[in-house]
Structure 1
Amino acid sequence: MLLRQALLIVLCVFKTAIVSAQTKEYVFINIWDEYQQPTALPIPLAPRTILQPDLNIDTASLQQFKASFPDYANLNIDSHNQLMRTFGVRQTPYRVIVEDGTVVKREALTPVLASSNHVDEKIPLQTLSGKSFAINHVETKYRVLFLSDSLCPFHHLPNCETRVKQNNELASASIYPVITIIKPFYVDIQNARDYQQRFLVQQEIVFDHHNEVFRQFDVHELPYWLVQNQQGQVIYRGNKMPTLPALFH
């Protein structure tokens, strides 16, 4: 009996050791980047968990992404970026292999390579009225960029209607250009035109076909304001309407 009990104890300890030494794989992605340049996911080296950084993200946006990309069905938000901090991850896309709580492998992942037989036509940045738009070339002393989403009003865009109204008022009062930039995800240029009519937008609107403006300024929260000086440098950014006195003098 004592021998049997001793064997059972040894067996339990052995099983616990196996479980504790289980290898896990964590893949960190940013869905906003994935829309523009998907990641080439490597073959899993262990049971895989896919995580989105807890930054400028909500459940609705996450579900919308998962519906569009079934391969990411088990994607979840890294609440408070706990695992990113634990494993020292500071970029996406990124893979970490963990064994018994210790990181044994880490690597930056690469985007899907485009087919050599297919080249996407680059659509130049321009306003809906046909005027060219350059991200870093500002012809006036200041320029305000209002980065918005044509899906407004929508549940993943809190207070968007209020901010659009504020921006219309800003455009009417500012002596410098105020230009709305529309995010391209889920929508096309017609949605931008509908947005213009729906909110009675009088200022110029640019549909950011290739997500160039949003990527250049690393903007994920919407609606959002940027103010550039004549050198193209950003002197203000935030989700509050800019009230710089220089804009109204």
Structure 2
Amino acid sequence: MKAGLMSLLLLAPVAVQAEFTDFRGEPVVIENEKIRHLVFTDIWAVYDGRGDEQLLERLPASFRQQSQQIWIQPQLNVTTAQLQEFTGYYPQLQPLVLDKEFRLMRSEGVWESPYHVLYQGEQRVFSGSTDELRRYLGLTVTEKMEAVAADKASDNEADNAVVSAGPPQRKKQQPVQQKKPQAGADMGDIMLLNTGGREQSLKILTAEKPLSLVFLDTLCPMPHFPGCEDKIAQLNQLVASTPERQWLGVVNSYYVNAEAVEPFRQRFNLTLPLMFDHEHKVFDAFDVHATPYQIDIGIDGVLKSRGDQIH
């Protein structure tokens, strides 16, 4: 056993959930003599080639023999049928647990994926990212570089062939380079839903009054959205005190559906109109990757300013 693996037994104990059920509702048989390895994952990232399923195969054989992987998918933007289809394509990524209401993520303090937590019996002995896990297990730089190179080669092969074991038509896509719109950019052709639920262009919506778009996420409050509650409180004050401009909240659709909007509105007593950004189109059009985030549109759809300060 390597020194890194041996030291797993020496960390301070943390209580662990003793029982798991998979997404079908079946109990997970825990192999108590083994290290329990919780892998927090995202099935859509796995489909896109950004998961840890291949990397885990390159971990030390001694670790794999002495550990039991339990894959954990947050209850975000997935259905039981989609999980069933996923396990058909990736049968090795089982047992697969659906983390309802983020209970496991919250209890383990996990706010990203892929992420790894190790338990020896009822004691948590490691928590960290993929790279941190590899370093913890004593992998050398050379081994890591070889694994990364192998991953890239695998990706290139996937880009040039349809793999029968993978999901149909889920070929990995290359990211599209998009220039972030800055002040002065004409955004008038972008379509938004007006307060009546009909699509209108930004040029029409701003024909008489400027418009402030505020990009929001229903997962607030969570640690990866620092200060979001204070910013939303400030937003409510501004909406009430600035009748000279229009306000519209654009709600992130990543991981949630439109049903999340109304509870979010009620939780924060939001008074501005909210639109659900289906397929992430408005976030992508403005190249927004943070929330809350404000973009001010002037008369006739011209972008005036953008930033993470609500003003």
Alignment TM-score, normalising by the size of structure 1: 0.50
Residue of structure 1 aligned with 2:235, choices 158, 167, 179: 167
Tell me the C-alpha RMSD between the 2 structures: 4.5
Per-residue displacement from partner, 1:227-248 (whole Å, max 9, x unpaired)?
1123423221111123xxxxxx
Contact residue 213 and residue 250 of structure 2 kept, 8 A = yes
CA gap of 1:232–1:125, structure 2 versus 1, over 3 A, is closer
Residue type at the aligned position of 1:195:
F
| Deviation for aligned residue 1:156 | 1.8
Counting only pairs closer than 5 Å after superposition, residues 132-147 of structure 1 correspond to structure 2 as 132-134=199-201, 137-140=204-207, 141-147=209-215
Distance apart, 1:183 and its partner CA: 0.3
Q: 5+ residue gaps in structure 2?
A: 1-43, 59-108, 117-127, 133-147, 160-166, 171-190
- Which amino acid is the alignment partner of residue 62 of structure 1? E
Match of 1:177 among 246, 254, 257: 246
Work out the CA distance in 2 between the residues paired with 1:155 and 1:128.
31
d(CA) in 2 for partners of 1:129, 1:186:
25
1:196 corresponds to 2:246: no
* Aligned equivalent of 2:286, options 217, 238, 242: 217
One-letter amino acid matched to 1:126? L
- 1:135, distance to aligned residue in structure 2 (A): 5.2
- Higher mean alpha-carbon deviation, 143-152 vs 132-141, is at 132-141
- Conservation of the 8 A alpha-carbon contact between 1:129 and 1:204: no
Instruction: Label 1:161 to 1:39 Cα distance change in 2 as closer, same or farther (>3 A).
Output: same
Q: 2:112 aligns with which of 57, 62, 71?
A: 62
Unaligned runs of 5+ in 1: 1-33, 49-58, 68-73, 79-95, 116-123, 243-249
Question: In 2, Cα distance between the equivalents of 1:113 and 1:200?
Answer: 43
Separation (CA, whole Å) in 2 of partners of 1:133 and 1:76: 44
Larger radius of gyration: 1
Correspondences of 1:1-249 after superposition (within 5 Å): 39=48, 60-63=110-113, 76=130, 97=149, 114=169, 126=193, 130-134=197-201, 137-140=204-207, 141-174=209-242, 175-242=244-311
| CA distance 1:185–1:138, change in 2 (3 Å) | same
Is 2:206–2:301's contact at 8 Å kept on the other side of the alignment? Answer: no
- CA deviations 1:5-27 (Å, max 9, x no partner) are xxxxxxxxxxxxxxxxxxxxxxx
Contact preservation (8 Å) 1:144, 1:178: yes
- CA spacing shift, 1:176–1:60, aligned 2, 3 Å: farther
Decide whether the 8 Å contact of 2:296 with 2:306 is kept in 1: yes
Q: TM-score, normalised by structure 2?
A: 0.41
| CA-to-aligned-CA distance 1:183-242 (integer Å, 9 cap, x gap) | 012211121111111212111100001100111111111111111123423221111123
Q: 1:231 to 1:191 in 2, by over 3 A?
A: same
Q: Deviations over 1:4-50 (max 9, x none)?
A: xxxxxxxxxxxxxxxxxxxxxxxxxxxxxx77xx6367xx8xx98xx
Distance change >3 Å, CA 126–CA 61, structure 1 → 2: farther
Q: 1:138: Cα distance to partner? A: 3.6
